[in-house]
Structure 1
């Protein structure tokens, strides 16, 4: 459809059959797009079918099948998106790699702090631990503690990042050594600024052990801690996701690392990004309560909503992060009911689509089984991805400044227009 023809389509929505014809796909694929969040459906008033916004359908048609990896096999960019050279993460059809090394293999052998340090410096330091400076942590805790009681953990992380930056007089020093020192102190500051629900671990505890009691009052077993540690490693980076792109834009104008992380956290709060695991958590909890995945999935689809925790635009098959976490969760006894519920959700949806479980569903199994709040998965995501944002900032600081300044394509009224 041409731009001139778009206004004529307003007010009339497309049926599933018309949408499939316009996209050149089968009707089943249309619903797969809905499940992936690429299309929004609306139930027909008084009917059994779904309708679709023609402008949204045409935008998807223009960009091609955005749920498939881009040409070249890295899967890191959608059609029409700018390509940014990076040496951090490569995404393949069924695997992804940190600096050329399989990320799943790294998660099996090393902890979050070790992998983060390796991404930042290219040097692996076994047993490295990050620590938060007392003055910086005190400022972050005061700021996060001043928030209203209904504030979520990511709200506290955002405020803590700002407070930590204000408390650091060297924040504008973008030399490599200073940025690395900032990164090593900022991540534990964010974790330790979260309120405790369980028992405080020792000062030399790993990041996963320090994060666990801030997610739940349930005492951890070793298998659960290993799962959380693996999740932190697997979520450190995933190429130029929306929050990472926002972080790189901030770094391109030479914003300091605290501001870079704040930019990433802002984008992460979008319901189509970091918050997706909370939706999967609530769905799994409902499946366990009702004892039927089929009923829950049916209700979601009837309401025109996607099934959370299924499908990923970069992986035509299974999400390797979900596979790795499910394997670890199988060793957690209390996770068995939630894991079975997740598998049932996946099997139910597979009757009509080719969607597989993604990392959000795996995080939901962990959070539900450990008695965590629905937002726990997003918290894990934010803490881990902070290390990735710093890695991208270090890379971007080495590029020419202000290079991420796209030009707008003006679509408003042509001048001159009368003065209002």
Structure 2
């Protein structure tokens, strides 16, 4: 009831996201405006996190997931039927907001339900479920295009995924109700395999903005380091294809290199959770940031080297390893430092910070590359990675556990 809806949501999203610019261009958008329309999804996610925190705190995760799935369903159908580019852009924005609400509901649910001893592994699996959908989704899109010869077919595939997701969440058993009937604690002490879908009991509703102010210390320190990690992750998806083009590789070769990097990333998602649960959060966050930051810095020095293609493949693999080792880190750190009684409002702020980092990085890289060169842009991304590594080294021991046993009852306090 957590992983399967996540997989369904990300499968549909993974099939649609790469084709949003294509669909927009087929409907008359220029290349520039098609890119702008595609960015409406990210803007929607940014704008949706804080309202989603308010919604989860008042209605609970299960109802929020149903609402998010239903609104996203309306948005995807609207995208398929939109008669104009303006309405298509609005529909994409709505899908982004719904994705933020769905993601925050899952995050808040896991924060309060999963025992600390295997929290990182559980959240790494959650991140892995998302990665699986985003990895497989484009292949499903390619198959649909081969059969129907129409990019809109991927939107209808997303509709099917969302419809199944809504039914699954609505009809799945509610362990919270079962616990209340049995007069047992709501927190499960071990993985029983039971389906889970209940809502967080609201103990003290502080409000979204009051929560942001109360926890401004952790958000302004550890939160900014987490935003740096999100920025480096996001930049990787832009830098590698452009770098391949700039050194003269053809499209199939670039796709192969990026695909291998993504496969390495996907293969390592559970390793991050194992490391964080067994040795502490720092031992996954710091190596991931060092690998990605140093990878971009080294890449910036290889553009004119005689072995630049070899360096490109090696650095892409290193970035894949670093990204794989960072799977679940942002989810886990957010869960660690969130107020355990009512995490939703805090997690809305936390996810807004990390999403902002991810949204800003491609813009920063593109701007620097336009003013200077790709090499300088890649070096700037590497510098962001170094800053994030220093931030994690400084702030994780204060706000998050070195080991699960060291975790205080309320880390954010």
TM-score (norm 1): 0.25
TM-score (norm 2): 0.25
Question: Larger RCO: Structure 1 or Structure 2 (Cα < 8 Å, ≥ 6 residues apart)?
Answer: 2
Task: From the two aligned structures, give the one with the greater helix fraction.
Answer: 2
Larger Rg: 1
